[in-house]
Structures are given as C-alpha cells and as structure tokens.
Amino acid sequence: MQLVIGNKNYSSWSLRPWLLMQHLSVSFEERKLWLFTEQMKAHMQQVSPSLKVPVLIDNGLTIWDSLAICEYLNDQYLRGEGWPQQIAAKAQARSICAEMHAGFFAVREEMPMNVRREKAAIVLSDQANTEIQRIITIFSQCLDKSKEGDSATEYLFGDFSIADAFFMPIVIRFSIYQIQVPENVKQYMQHMLSLPAYKIWQADAIAETAVIAVAEV
C-alpha cells in the first residue's frame, strides 16, 4: 500500500492519514510529491484524480481525500477501530471531523501548518480568533467527556481515533503560533506532540529544505 503525501513541513491534509497509519501500525510505503514545484502538476496527474494529495493506492484501488482515505483504512485495516466504538461517540467524532474538513478557512489561511517554524504569535483576524475559540470548545468538550469514560483520557474520544489524526494539524498550528489555550487543551496538545509517530513526521519535516513562500507567515 502506498500513501502519496506532500511536503511534511506543510501538508496538513497528508499528515492525517499518515499519522493514523503510523500510530496504529498499518504498514505502508510513503511517496512524497513536492508541492508547488514546476513538476507538481505532472506528478499529480500520474497519481491523483483530484490533483491533490494525500492519495492512497492499495491493490489497484486509488483513494483520494484525507477523510475518504481514513474511512477506507478504518474499514479495510482497522476493523472499525479507527472511530470510537459507541454510536454516540462515533457520531460526535464524525461531526467534528466533518466540521474540520469543511471549515475553519481563516485558520487555514492565516496560520498555515509549518512544522519547522520558530514558535511565535502572529496577529490574527477576528474570524480566525472566532474559529480558534470554536476549536477550543470542541477540544474541551471532547476531553471532558473522554475523561468520563473508562479508557485512557489522553485522546479526544478515550482511545486514539481518526478525530485525533484530523485535529493534529491544528495542534501543530496552535503550538507554533502560540495560541492561548486552557490547561486541559494544553495537556492534550503536549501529549499529541510527543507521540512517537508524530516525532518521526516532525524530524522528517525539519530535514526538508523546500520552502513554500506563501506558507511562511
């Protein structure tokens, strides 16, 4: 199975399925496609129907879009354990992933994922601050509820799930742009940033030398 990803320093969409697979020990081969280079379009045309990454290629099947890839991995390789097992928790997890997938445009625009960036706060628009508060509410509500369950409390829904993978780029953004968060969110972020799987991604991202100027804010 091959996962085609973009630059590890910048490609937030690629990080989601990569982290899910790496953290849950699904074996795969990684193929990197450098974003916004002269060759990008030609390379995308060879692998991605949407001309975007990530793309998963498995047994002659091509799956594109990070959410579709995570759903496929959940069905095919994770015995449904990519999502919380309880129906209500699964519905909540899917809701926050869908919300993340389809929104938060000001956060994306103003706070590009940039793993190796020196940590420093930036001035944000009112819209970005509103979106940040909404994300903090999501985190806080999930973490409070997660604590009520029997399982480990370090993740949004007890055990690691697709929801954690989906919100990992936000954790990185909040960290590098020094967003003020409540204590429980801070602890969650520290836990996510210290995951061995993420440490691999981070080291690879730091080793990359390609620069995407618009993502350097």
Ligand X SMILES: N[C@@H](CCC(=O)N[C@@H](CS)C(=O)NCC(=O)O)C(=O)O
Applying CB under 6 A, the residues found at the interface with ligand X are 6, 11-14, 35, 51-54, 65-67
- Residue 115 CB, shortest distance to ligand X, in Å, is 13
Closer Cβ to ligand X, 6 or 84, answer by number: 6
3-state secondary structure the chain: CEEEECCCCCCHHHHHHHHHHHHCCCCCEEEECCCCCCCHHHHHHHHCCCCCCCEEEECCEEEECHHHHHHHHHHHCCCCCCCCCCHHHHHHHHHHHHHHHHCCHHHHHHCCCCCCCCCCCCCCCHHHHHHHHHHHHHHHHHHHHHHHCCCCCCECEEECCHHHHHHHHHHHHHHHCCCCCCHHHHHHHHHHHCCHHHHHHHHHHHHCCCCCHHHCC
* Nearer to ligand X (CB atom), residue 108 or residue 134: 108
Residue 140's φ and ψ, nearest 5 degrees, are: -60, -45
When the beta carbons of 48 and 92 are compared against ligand X, the nearer one is: 48
Q: Could you tell me the smallest distance in angstroms from the CB atom of residue 87 to ligand X? A: 25
**Smallest distance, Å, CB 153 to ligand X?**
28
Q: How far is the CB of 133 from ligand X (least distance, A)?
A: 24
Instruction: Give the nearest distance from C-beta 13 to ligand X in angstroms.
Output: 4
Residue type, 76: Q
Residue placing its CB nearer to ligand X in the complex, 12 or 146: 12
**Closer of 6 and 158 to ligand X (Cβ):** 6
Distance of closest approach, residue 150 Cβ to ligand X, in angstroms: 32
Count the residues in the chain. 217
Closest CB to ligand X among residues 53, 142: 53
